[in-house]
Amino acid sequence: MVNTRVTLCGIELDNPVIPASGTFGYGYEFAELYDINCLGTFSFKGTTREPRFGNPTPRIAECTAGMINAVGLQNPGVEAVIREELPRLGKAFRKPVMANVSGFSVEDYAFTCALLDREEQVGWLEVNVSCPNVHGGGMSFGTDPASAAEVTRAVKAVTKKPVILKLSPNVTDIAAIARACEDAGADGISLINTLLGMRIDPRTRRPVIANVMGGFSGPAIFPVALRMVYQVSKAVSVPVVGMGGVASAEDVIEMMMAGASAVEVGAQNLVDPFASKKIVEALPAAMEKYGVTSLEEIIGTAH
Amino acid sequence: MNRELLTITENEPLTASVFRMRLSGCAGGYLPGQFVNVALPGLYLRRPISVCDLADGTLTLIYKVVGRGSELMSRLRPGEKLDVLTGLGNGYDLAAAGDAPLLVGGGVGVPPLYYLAKELIKQGKTVSVVLGFNTKDEIFYEDEFRALGCQTAVTTADGSRGVKGFVTDALPGGASYYYACGPLPMLKALYRAAPFPGEMSFEERMGCGFGACMGCSMMTKSGAKRVCREGPVFKKEELLW
């Protein structure tokens, strides 16, 4: 009998598998297919202060072992999320959920987090300072240690819930940004958001994505993500949530050995709606295969 | 939505670039205007394709070879199995048809209208169809629509067969509601030309095809909608044209 339980910022999870924000909606599309309570938790669609339509289409492009998206944080705004989405989410999912928040100013982040702080089902705030698809916000806060720290402090001041900063890989030194967030009070770090990429359609000779560039995700980015999780978890003492190209229980185990306390599954949910459930179900056998009795004991063994 | 493992029973060209694939083992129960999302070996994203027909557990898909996905699909052989998400999207609103609905399709927008025509005829409707193509060599399914009992007109842009021009040059009188699927310029022209209500099926590059990723959103009079979930069919009065 193996033990898949892990603790993330003081909250216990049945297993470390967490569908990533933007790949799982508010859970109910997936709840039509399976009981999503088998998941550790999930991170719901990135939420901003105001409603957003996002970028023009096409927003999606195929890549080798992955995809590019340039959705641009489409969401109904925090007030509608609280009024309409969370009550529905609560009917399908009974565990603490991770609220993913983005913004265009430090005040935006604080405003949105302050409202979500009052929601009982929200277990963690995952603060996205890494969206590559919006201008003048998102990633610009996550490419500079001082800005990332400022967002962290502003959010910490309005919530008692654990605050996890979600970082961009599109930086020179991700460990320095993680340390700045930790010093500013972050309770955890999650990484990586997507890698900035693009595709061109040779028939039209133009970019496939209307916004030209987008975020590259999928199994192709797993080695890059794993390397960064390793670097960041060596640099900070707060828990790290690893993500980027995770598609199997083996990937989860590798991420944890690199230093992750929990693992998010992103793009794979889009091509296989059962991916996260399959990973949860495959974990015990994968653990037995590698002689792991408790997942907590393998966190950071590669260090 | 269901995930099904279907077996290819046929994959043959109808024209130089349009193929028909038939798959067996289908649970069924999908509506005209819905689509399926097909996983193709070696590609990451699934490919969304409209349902052309569904009969006795056999699903018919008609697709045009335009890129890497459809090229790969055209090389698959009978006997191979495909992982398919089925029953996606809203489908056409059959209740809105009235007694004499008009179906308007252009190019690879024609296939979903076939299943729709079949179901409308089952309900005792008098169905008129206008099918638009660029040239006579690209025409497919004209005979199939006639065989269903539809009043069928064909247009070609170059006049090589049927009415010379576009679908809007061959709209019959007497219709009070239309269903359409085709390229965006055709839909816009029809929107302006037909003075009566209708609904249109849209196409967009999709990530998941089932509402999770927000990759295919479209702005409508009642806000942002997902082409894969609230669509692909939208009522004329919802469109911001």
Residue of A nearest to B83 (CA): A272
The Cα A238–Cα A104 span in angstroms is 26
Q: Do A65 and B39 touch (CB under 8 A)?
A: no
DSSP letter (8 states) at residue A38 = G
A122 membership: H or E segment, kind and range: strand A122-128
Q: Identify whether residues B60 and B143 lie together within a single domain.
A: no
Regarding whether B98 and B70 lie in a shared domain, the answer is no
Q: For chain B, first and last CA: distance in Å?
A: 31
Nearest residue in A to B48, CA atom: A271
B120 and B197 co-located in one domain? yes
> Is A203 buried (19+), middle (13-18) or exposed (0-12) by CB count in 10 A?
exposed
- pLDDT tens, position by position, B42-83: 999 999 999 999 999 999 999 999 989 999 999 999 999 999
Dump pLDDT digits (tens) for B171-194: 998 898 999 999 999 999 999 999
* pLDDT of A141: 85
Residues B106 and B188 in one domain: yes
Write down the pLDDT at residue A135. Answer: 64
| B217–A57 C-beta distance less than 8 A | yes
Cα distance between residue B141 and residue B240, in whole Å = 32
Strand partners, B10: B22
Does A161 reside within a domain?
yes
What CATH number should be reported for the domain holding residue B126?
3.40.50.80
The answer to whether residues A97 and A122 touch, using CB atoms and an 8 Å cutoff, is yes
In a domain, A67, yes or no: no
Shared domain check, B100 and B189? yes
In a domain, B192, yes or no: yes
Average pLDDT over residues A1-22: 97
pLDDT one-digit tens code per residue, B182-237: 999 999 999 999 999 999 999 999 999 999 999 999 999 999 999 999 999 999 99
**pTM score of the predicted model:** 0.95
- Please check whether residue A207 lies inside any domain of the structure: no
Question: What is d(CA A43, CA A276) in angstroms, rounded to the nearest whole number?
Answer: 12
| Residue B68 near chain A (CB below 8 Å) | yes
Is residue B231 in a domain? no
B153 in the same domain as B136? yes
Range of the domain at A272: 6-54+74-195+216-298
pLDDT score of B7 more than 60: yes
> Are B181 and B105 spatial neighbours (Cβ–Cβ below 8 Å)?
yes
- The whole-number average pLDDT for the span A21-37 is 96
Q: Specify whether the CB–CB gap between A59 and A215 falls below 8 A.
A: no
Clarify whether residues B170 and B196 are in a common domain: yes
| Rounded mean pLDDT, A265-283 | 98
B75 and B145 fall within a common domain? no
Return the sign of the alpha-carbon dihedral for residues B230, B112, B35, B28. Answer: positive
Q: Encode pLDDT of A231-254 as tens digits.
A: 999 999 999 999 999 999 999 999
Count of domains forming chain B: 2
Closest residue to B44, CB basis, from A32, A66, A273: A66
Which contiguous run of DSSP H or E holds residue A268?
helix A268-271
Indicate which CATH number applies to the domain containing A176: 3.20.20.70
Strands (E), A187-283: 188-191, 195-197, 200-201, 206-207, 214-217, 240-243, 262-265
Annotated catalytic residue: which of A9, A38, A63, A131? A131
Burial of A78 (0-12, 13-18, 19+ CB in 10 A): buried
Query: Can you read off the two tokens belonging to residue A1?
Result: 């009998």
* Cβ A270 vs Cβ A221: under 8 Å: no
Q: Is residue A143 part of a domain?
A: yes
**Which among A67, A74, A270 has the least Cβ separation from residue B217?**
A74
* Structural domain contains residue A65: no
State the total domains in chain A. Answer: 1
Residue A35, amino acid: D
Non-local (6+) Cβ contacts of A62 within 8 A are A199, B43, B44, B45, B68, B69
The answer to whether position B160 is within a domain reads: yes
Catalytic residue status for A113: no
Q: What does the alpha-carbon distance between residue A6 and residue B7 come to, in Å, rounded to a whole number?
A: 42
Residue A160 CA: distances (Å) to CA of A9, A232, A236, B186, B231 = 12, 24, 21, 55, 40
Q: Kindly report the CATH number assigned to the domain that includes residue B23.
A: 2.40.30.10
Question: Which domain range does residue B193 map to?
Answer: 94-201
Is the per-residue pLDDT at B134 higher than 80?
yes
pLDDT at A131: 76
CB of B184 within 8 Å of any CB in chain A? no
